[in-house]
């Protein structure tokens, strides 16, 4: 605290990202990074872009990247917005599209950055409880018969940190049922087993789909995210972006992202490897007595009936295995475990086996 702080800063509750410690031989399964590297074509493109040209500003409109993303999703370039990681895209969307007189509706268990943006931009929010099985019920997001309706709606699909997927017809039900409200679908994990709502963009003027290069394209360090929506929604994001920073993506990021989009083969194969390892990890955890929520993401969310989540996370940390634990209502017992390589997942399972069985044989 400081008397030099503005009133806004006093009122902030910043997001706390998963740690990035510098520990040797760490099995790092806490921030949902991709276990395999980015496309070699993306790395080559970035090396090639690291030249004298860096003295020049990048293209403020990222035209080449927008065109490539538009083509990949069967949309038009004016239906694409790009930003410095999807967190920045989301931040602009909160200000440009989600802040209205009526409150923003969002699930009680969701990406923990959303409440942070609500505070930053002064949005009122109304949380809607996920069902007891942690599924999202589309009917809970339709205008109430009494007339109450959302100012806007946001949810992650697959959800974070549960990993549960809402099928595309459920997403469409929410979008179609709220023609007066923007519905933002955060698809950070959609490439690990879901069907994107991007195909619904031409049909619905109130739908904004947000994706990222950080998870499925293994480029978390590059900071590239994007939004897909009809031109008026994209224009709103551009207005905020151009009132904030004209050049959110540098030349290296633009070059790397463009080449990544072009390498569909590398992308598809490495997502499939993660999906295969997820199935194996799921079985191993269940064999250890864990309840594992069905996941369509590159992580699993699991709890053990006989162990506290915080204790398990701490015991794993002692064994140089990092996972994420959220000390939050309803999910305190769970661990969120990123799907790593088969070797990393085997190390996690070995450590968990030790912890679960060691504690189990202790006299009571």
Ligand X SMILES: *Cc1c(COP(=O)(O)O)cnc(C)c1O
Q: Is 323 in the site for ligand X (CB under 6 A)?
A: no
Smallest separation (angstroms) from ligand X to the CB of 36? 17
Q: Is 216 in the site for ligand X (CB under 6 A)?
A: no
Identify the residue among 87, 120, 298, 316 touching ligand X (CB under 6 A). 87
Q: Is 220 in the site for ligand X (CB under 6 A)?
A: yes
Identify the residue among 95, 118, 163, 186 touching ligand X (CB under 6 A). 186
Identify the residue among 38, 58, 193, 225 touching ligand X (CB under 6 A). 225
Write the DSSP symbol of residue 166: P
Q: Is 337 in the site for ligand X (CB under 6 A)?
A: no
Smallest separation (angstroms) from ligand X to the CB of 287? 28
Per DSSP, helices labelled H in 288-334 are 309-318
Smallest separation (angstroms) from ligand X to the CB of 127? 16
Q: Is 295 in the site for ligand X (CB under 6 A)?
A: no
Region binding ligand X by CB under 6 A among candidate stretches 83-91, 243-251, 264-272, 310-318 = 83-91
DSSP conformation letters of 19-64: P----TT-EE-SS---SSPPPHHHHHHHHHHSSGGGGSPP-TT-HH
Lookup: tokens for 293: 């929520």
**Residue pointed to by tokens 């409200």:** 181
Give buried/exposed letters for 233-246 (b at 16+ CB in 10 A, else e).
Answer: bbebbbebbeeeee
Smallest separation (angstroms) from ligand X to the CB of 177? 23
Q: Is 33 in the site for ligand X (CB under 6 A)?
A: no
Smallest separation (angstroms) from ligand X to the CB of 296? 13
Q: Is 111 in the site for ligand X (CB under 6 A)?
A: yes
Smallest separation (angstroms) from ligand X to the CB of 214? 3
301 strand-pairing partners? 336
Region binding ligand X by CB under 6 A among candidate stretches 19-27, 58-66, 79-87, 134-142 = 79-87
- From the centroid of its chain, how far is CA 239? 24
Q: Is 165 in the site for ligand X (CB under 6 A)?
A: no
Helix (H) or strand (E) holding 327: none
Strand 225-229, strand 80-83: pairing: antiparallel
Spell out the residues 6+ positions from residue 60 whose beta carbon is closer than 8 angstroms to its own: 242, 246, 247
- Binding-site size for ligand X (CB under 6 A) equals 12
Smallest separation (angstroms) from ligand X to the CB of 111? 4
Identify the residue among 85, 248, 256, 340 touching ligand X (CB under 6 A). 85
Identify the residue among 30, 79, 86, 270 touching ligand X (CB under 6 A). 86
Spell out the residues 6+ positions from residue 337 whose beta carbon is closer than 8 angstroms to its own: 29, 281, 285, 299, 300, 301, 302, 323, 324, 348
Region binding ligand X by CB under 6 A among candidate stretches 85-93, 229-237, 323-331, 350-358 = 85-93
Closest CA to 137 of 163, 103, 111, 169: 169
Question: Of the two residues 257 and 315, which places its CB atom closer to ligand X in the complex?
Answer: 257
Q: Could you give the CA distance from residue 15 to residue 236 in angstroms, rounded to a whole number?
A: 25
Question: Of the two residues 186 and 191, which places its CB atom closer to ligand X in the complex?
Answer: 186
Identify the residue among 157, 212, 216, 282 touching ligand X (CB under 6 A). 212
Helix (H) or strand (E) holding 274: helix 264-287
Contact positions vs ligand X (CB under 6 A): 85-87, 111, 156, 160, 186, 188, 212, 214, 220, 225
């Amino acid at each position: 605290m400081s008397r030099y702080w503005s009133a806004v800063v006093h009122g902030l509750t910043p997001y706390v990202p998963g740690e990035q410690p510098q520990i040797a031989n760490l099995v790092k399964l806490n921030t949902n990074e991709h276990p395999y590297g980015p496309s070699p074509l993306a790395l080559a493109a970035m090396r090639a872009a690291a030249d004298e040209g860096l003295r020049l500003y990048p293209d403020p409109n990222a035209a080449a990247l927008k065109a490539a993303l538009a083509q990949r999703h069967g949309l038009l370039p004016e239906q694409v917005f790009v930003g410095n990681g999807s967190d920045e895209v989301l931040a602009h969307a909160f200000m440009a599209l989600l802040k209205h007189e009526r409150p923003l509706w969002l699930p009680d268990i969701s990406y923990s950055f959303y409440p942070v943006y609500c505070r930053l931009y002064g949005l009122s929010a109304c949380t809607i409880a996920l069902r007891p099985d942690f599924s999202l019920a589309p009917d809970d997001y339709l205008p109430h018969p009494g007339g109450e309706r959302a100012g806007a709606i946001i949810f992650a699909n697959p959800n974070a940190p549960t990993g549960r997927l809402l099928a595309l017809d459920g997403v469409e039900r929410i979008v179609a049922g709220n023609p007066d409200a923007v519905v933002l679908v955060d698809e950070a994990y959609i490439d690990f087993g879901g069907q994107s709502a991007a195909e619904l963009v031409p049909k619905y003027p109130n739908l904004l789909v947000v994706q990222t290069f950080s998870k499925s394209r293994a480029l978390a360090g590059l900071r590239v995210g994007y939004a897909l929506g009809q031109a008026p929604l994209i224009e709103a994001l551009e207005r905020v972006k151009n009132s904030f920073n004209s050049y959110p993506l540098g030349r290296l990021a633009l070059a790397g992202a463009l080449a990544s989009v072009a390498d569909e083969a590398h992308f598809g194969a490495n997502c499939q490897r993660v999906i295969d390892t997820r199935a194996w990890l799921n079985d191993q955890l269940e064999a250890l007595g864990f309840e594992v929520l069905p996941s369509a993401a590159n992580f699993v969310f699991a709890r053990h009936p006989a162990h506290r989540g915080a204790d398990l996370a701490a015991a794993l940390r002692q064994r140089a295995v990092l996972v994420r634990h959220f000390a939050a209502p309803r999910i305190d017992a769970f661990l969120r475990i990123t799907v790593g390589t088969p070797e990393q997942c085997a190390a996690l399972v070995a450590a968990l086996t030790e912890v679960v069985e060691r504690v189990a044989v202790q006299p009571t």
